């Protein structure tokens, strides 16, 4: 996670690894009828396929997705979207919840750490952040803004679309 300036307020954002993990899961939740290739997801989101492969490996190692190889292979959700908790996904895919240096005692060099109360405040804020995420599943967030599927906002449609039916005049 990183703290950065966006507009008039400071913003907290997840690493790209956690962000891409959530995007992959959202995409798969839209396509439960078939395996989806990493290439398709890469094209849909405009993300490097090589980076997605690493993210998929992490998701697979934590049993969020199944991956199969071969001509009819691809990615599928390992669980029903209602069983995939957003807080758990973020915990498993976000490599570091160190908001400030003093969260890591082994490398902390802050001179005021022994007397500073900020660490406790930030730890409480982090617990609240994760607690909110724990209140949602993939199914909850997949259709939060109405009924339009997320795929309707992406640049591509289903892979292997059916060719148009040709009709010839008699």
pTM of the model: 0.78
Alpha helix positions (H), 13-156? 16-30, 38-45, 49-61, 86-93, 118-134, 138-142
Per-residue pLDDT, 138: 95
Per-residue pLDDT, 150: 66
Residue 89 to residue 134: CA distance in whole angstroms: 9
Beta bridge partners of 65: 77
Determine what percent of the chain is predicted with pLDDT higher than 70.
77
Determine what percent of the chain is predicted with pLDDT higher than 90.
48
Q: For the chain, which residues make up each domain, given as ranges? A: 15-143
Instruction: Count Cβ atoms within 10 A of the Cβ of residue 21 and give its class: 0-12 exposed, 13-18 middle, 19 or more buried.
Output: buried
81 vs 70, higher pLDDT: 81
Q: Which residues have C-beta within 8 Å of that of residue 69, sequence separation ≥ 6?
A: none
Per-residue pLDDT, 152: 67
Q: Which residues have C-beta within 8 Å of that of residue 135, sequence separation ≥ 6?
A: 87
Domain 15-143 has CATH 3.30.70.20: no
Length of the chain in terms of residues written = 170
Instruction: Tell me which H or E stretch contains 13.
Output: strand 9-13
| pLDDT surpassing 80 at residue 147 | no
66 vs 143, higher pLDDT: 66
Per-residue pLDDT, 110: 85
């Amino acid at each position: 996670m990183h703290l950065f300036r966006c507009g008039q307020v400071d913003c907290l954002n997840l690493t790209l690894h956690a962000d891409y993990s959530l995007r992959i899961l959202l995409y798969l939740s839209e396509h439960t009828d078939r395996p989806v290739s990493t290439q398709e997801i890469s094209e849909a989101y405009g993300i490097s396929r090589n980076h997605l492969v690493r993210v998929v490996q992490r998701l697979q190692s934590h049993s969020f997705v199944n991956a199969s190889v071969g001509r009819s292979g691809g990615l599928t959700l390992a669980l029903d979207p209602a069983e995939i908790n957003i807080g758990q996904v973020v915990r498993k895919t976000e490599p570091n919840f160190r908001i400030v240096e003093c969260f890591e005692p082994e490398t902390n060099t802050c001179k005021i750490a022994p007397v500073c109360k900020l660490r406790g405040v930030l730890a409480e804020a982090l617990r609240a952040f994760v607690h909110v995420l724990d209140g949602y599943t993939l199914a909850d967030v997949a259709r939060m803004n109405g009924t339009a599927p997320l795929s309707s906002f992406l640049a591509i449609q289903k892979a292997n679309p059916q060719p148009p039916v040709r009709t010839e005049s008699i």
